[in-house]
Structure 1
Amino acid sequence: MTATDRFTGFVDRAHAAGRLVVQPRMGFGELHRMRAGLAAVREADATTVGTVTLDSYTRCLDDATARRALREDPAGLNGFPLLAHGVPAVRALLQECSSAAFPVQIRHGTPRPLRLFRAMAETGADATEGGPVSYCLPYGRVPLAQAVAEWSAGCELLAARPVPPHIETFGGCMLGQLCPPSLLVALAVLEAMFFQEHGLRGISLSYAQQIHQGQDLEALAALRRLAGERLSTTHHIVLYTFMGVFPRTEDGSRRLLAESARLAVHGGAERLVVKTPAEAHRIPTVEENVAALEYAASVAARTPDGADGPRATSSGLYEEARTLVDATLETGRTIGECLVRAFALGVIDVPYCLHPDNANRARATIDARSMLGWSRAGGMPVTARGAAPVTARRLTELLTFNRRRFDSDVRRHPLRSAS
């Protein structure tokens, strides 16, 4: 039997102790800044895991440009250039900063991860994330079949390690917003099944906070139920603070972050990936990341986990997500083949996603109850409620829904600083 990886073990112990694990999305170009960032997160007044987020050149496997940026303007990089630094330097960084009491996840964003996974394995990284769909469709024009092939090989490479690293599916965060929760749940489960099929045993399934707390609670319950039915591996649920257009005001951002922390507690998520009030304007500093982690942890600690919390909606979300999973699995023999075929047939169709392998016939909208739903089904086995066509002006309104909601709430109800 495969030994439990450090990341899985840490999250399991924290959950057993009643603590929510909080995590930043943080990456810096220079080794000393990355080291200082990890140390600050480790010492934060919260139960934390570390993050090394890679830069956009490395995500695109543009080694030459990453190396040039590292020489000429390392502070200008929007993440950590792992391949440019080289395996020995990164291995030394992780050996110094990570441990069973503070595991570190490498986040990357590439549809072609084989070279990165090979380097990650050699550095001894505790965890990584992504998926053949969620790191392909939103990030470029790499054919989905090619992404599936590379992810298959990469996952098998990681699975061959004496203790395979933990892996997190990013499918529950597809496009960050305007993706109805049933599809987010289905994609998270399908990517987790893909990881399991290729031998990985420590898995987490993501879901991104959307716009309606009751609907999000229903989605988290559906995700946990479907994962329990379809996975034989150890797994947990990770919630992301809203990934769309963030509030412009600091207080509005803090209100949104606080709502995500409460959602994590009420929805039973074991881990929360946070955003900071700086997100609407620029890449946050180490200090801003730590402040967001500590604030989210303090809100979670004050949130009662019981029957007195908000209620989940009852909209048939689990049944719709299960139908999408089942319809996908009917299209092929392996999970990877099923994913490619399902997109080709339009059985899975991500609204507003322009990737050539996505049908882009389905549409979503926000209804009068402030819930996300299907306005046009395309070829998907879902029920569309029907709505007027989404114009450019209406799309902008939909995309800025949470920003306007939380900023206007602030103007009516100013938020006191956290104690």
Structure 2
Amino acid sequence: MAGHFDRLIAAGRDRGEVVVQPRMGFGKLEVMRDGLFQVASLGLPVVGTLTLDSYTRVGDYTTPLERLAAGEELNGYPLVSHPADATRALLAGLHGPQFPVQVRHGTALPLRVFQKLVEVGLDATEGGPVSYCLPYSRLPLAQAVAAWAESCRYLAGETEHGHIESFGGCLLGQLCPPSLLVAIAVLEGCFFKQHGLRHMSLSYAQGVLAEQDRGALRALRTLAGEHLSDVNWHVVLYTYMGLFPKTPDGAAALIRDSARLARDTGCERMIVKTVSEAWQIPTIAENLAALRLSAEASRGTPAPSTPLVDAFHDEVLAEARLIVDTVLGLAPDVGTALTMAFERGVLDIPFGLHPDNVGAATCVIDSRGALAWGSPGKIPLPGGFAGARVEEFASDRLHAMLNHVANHYDNGAGPTGT
């Protein structure tokens, strides 16, 4: 048996539809309710979102209400700060079987957020012990792992259908080899399962080359099937998380391509970006337009695989499987294994600045136009490493890689790959 969130996803899967979802969050109760109401009224297979504000993410629950009282805006919804009755009233008549709502938060210490979302009647959220610590926090990884273990046990114990979406497939948003994204997503899924959760989703962020992404998403499903066959899971694709095109046409083309990628790879859900991502926090109207654009582009017959997609699948799967097996072999407890893996450099996020990240691994855009290891550091790779072996990056080269996708679409060059 599944809850509202998982039943809606399963129904979309059965119809061959991609469920679309915004990242929308506003501080004022009336604005947040209006946003949810308009999303729910689209007539699309859609999930609602309460994206939390940056103060809540760092455990400051006082400042949000002070800023709102002063007439200022927030960049998200302060779930912990608002009274539970106020949030329940906000959700009344909206949250339900046809419109589940997920809480997206960004905090490495999530227990207060989990407690509040349960108090207001929700059971779906996101994050993970690695994916919400190393990119966003300076908190020691071991402390984040312990906090997430406690929080997962709480959610599993207090809800019948508690659901967490691993953010592991979106580490730093860009310039990360897909095999590491796949491995972290699956490892966080194993962590959730060990702490009692039976409903989860695994993320993957659109990269720089469509064929590589298609192969990687197949590899994610293969590996998840091997490790998570006894729980309810699905895959969620994120529209490109790096620097976004600055032109409306370029941004719209990238959004359409991400929706087609979701369709072609059987992703059950998609986190949508808007054409204004490069310059402002999107409005309700811009979120609605992006949801319509994505839903329309995701319709149609999935494109067949190609030899290049198959080759990328085999490459990513071999790398990700070895990484996952190596990490899980470090300790019976998944959280302990994750902590040990980062201490030893077995897990190492390219360009990650967290103190617990060794920082020896690097990523390049190779001659195929794909994300590849520049140097893997101590990350285990099958058959020895045959990558670019880049020892250092000049600032102009890194700048070019960071802007690669945005420039491609702003120049009207068409999709990155086929």
**TM-score class, shorter:** over 0.9
Instruction: Provide the residue aligned with 2:408 in structure 1.
Output: 405
Amino acid at match of 2:377: G
Residues 257, 274 of structure 1: 8 Å contact kept? yes
For each residue in 1:22-43, what CA deviation from the matched residue of structure 2 results, as whole angstroms up to 9, or x when unmatched?
0000000000000000011111
For each residue in 1:307-364, what CA deviation from the matched residue of structure 2 results, as whole angstroms up to 9, or x when unmatched?
3789615141101000000111111121111111100010000000000000011000
Instruction: Provide the residue aligned with 1:393 in structure 2.
Output: 396
Equivalent pairs counted in the alignment come to 408
What's the offset of the Cα at 1:304? 1.5
Aligned equivalent of 2:163, options 166, 173, 176: 166
- Give me the whole-angstrom Cα distance separating, in 2, the residues matched to 1:50 and 1:44: 11
Aligned equivalent of 2:62, options 61, 64, 75: 64
- Answering whether residue 319 of structure 2 is matched by residue 317 of structure 1, we say no
Instruction: Provide the residue aligned with 1:416 in structure 2.
Output: none
What's the offset of the Cα at 1:372? 0.3
More displaced, 350-359 or 303-312?
303-312
Q: TM-score, normalised by structure 2?
A: 0.95
Instruction: Provide the residue aligned with 1:41 in structure 2.
Output: 39
Runs of 4+ in structure 1 off by over 6 angstroms are none
- Answering whether residue 222 of structure 2 is matched by residue 225 of structure 1, we say yes
More displaced, 141-150 or 378-387?
378-387
- Answering whether residue 168 of structure 2 is matched by residue 177 of structure 1, we say no
Tell me, what secondary structure is at the counterpart of 1:57?
A: helix
- Give me the whole-angstrom Cα distance separating, in 1, the residues matched to 2:118 and 2:83: 13
- Answering whether residue 348 of structure 2 is matched by residue 349 of structure 1, we say yes
Residues 138, 353 of structure 1: 8 Å contact kept? yes
Residues 113, 151 of structure 1: 8 Å contact kept? yes
Residues 354, 360 of structure 1: 8 Å contact kept? yes
For each residue in 1:189-240, what CA deviation from the matched residue of structure 2 results, as whole angstroms up to 9, or x when unmatched?
0001111111111111000000100000010000000001001101111000
Residues 276, 292 of structure 1: 8 Å contact kept? yes
Tell me, what secondary structure is at the counterpart of 2:112?
A: helix
- Give me the whole-angstrom Cα distance separating, in 2, the residues matched to 1:86 and 1:350: 38
Tell me, what secondary structure is at the counterpart of 1:16?
A: helix
**Percent identity between the aligned chains?**
48
More displaced, 355-364 or 83-92?
83-92
Gap runs ≥5 in structure 1: 414-419
- Answering whether residue 153 of structure 2 is matched by residue 156 of structure 1, we say yes
RMSD: 1.5
Q: Residues 111 and 384 from structure 1, CA distance in 2 versus in 1: closer, same or farther, beyond 3 angstroms? A: farther
More displaced, 14-23 or 206-215?
14-23
Residues 172, 205 of structure 1: 8 Å contact kept? yes
- Answering whether residue 276 of structure 2 is matched by residue 262 of structure 1, we say no
- Give me the whole-angstrom Cα distance separating, in 1, the residues matched to 2:139 and 2:101: 28
Q: Residues 310 and 242 from structure 1, CA distance in 2 versus in 1: closer, same or farther, beyond 3 angstroms? A: farther
- Give me the whole-angstrom Cα distance separating, in 2, the residues matched to 1:309 and 1:251: 28
- Give me the whole-angstrom Cα distance separating, in 1, the residues matched to 2:69 and 2:327: 46
Q: Residues 399 and 384 from structure 1, CA distance in 2 versus in 1: closer, same or farther, beyond 3 angstroms? A: farther
Tell me, what secondary structure is at the counterpart of 2:270?
A: strand
Q: Residues 292 and 133 from structure 1, CA distance in 2 versus in 1: closer, same or farther, beyond 3 angstroms? A: same
What's the offset of the Cα at 1:165? 2.2
More displaced, 40-49 or 55-64?
40-49
- Answering whether residue 91 of structure 2 is matched by residue 94 of structure 1, we say yes
- Give me the whole-angstrom Cα distance separating, in 1, the residues matched to 2:176 and 2:102: 26
Amino acid at match of 1:101: Q
- Answering whether residue 286 of structure 2 is matched by residue 284 of structure 1, we say no
What's the offset of the Cα at 1:252? 0.1
Instruction: Provide the residue aligned with 1:273 in structure 2.
Output: 271
Amino acid at match of 1:56: S
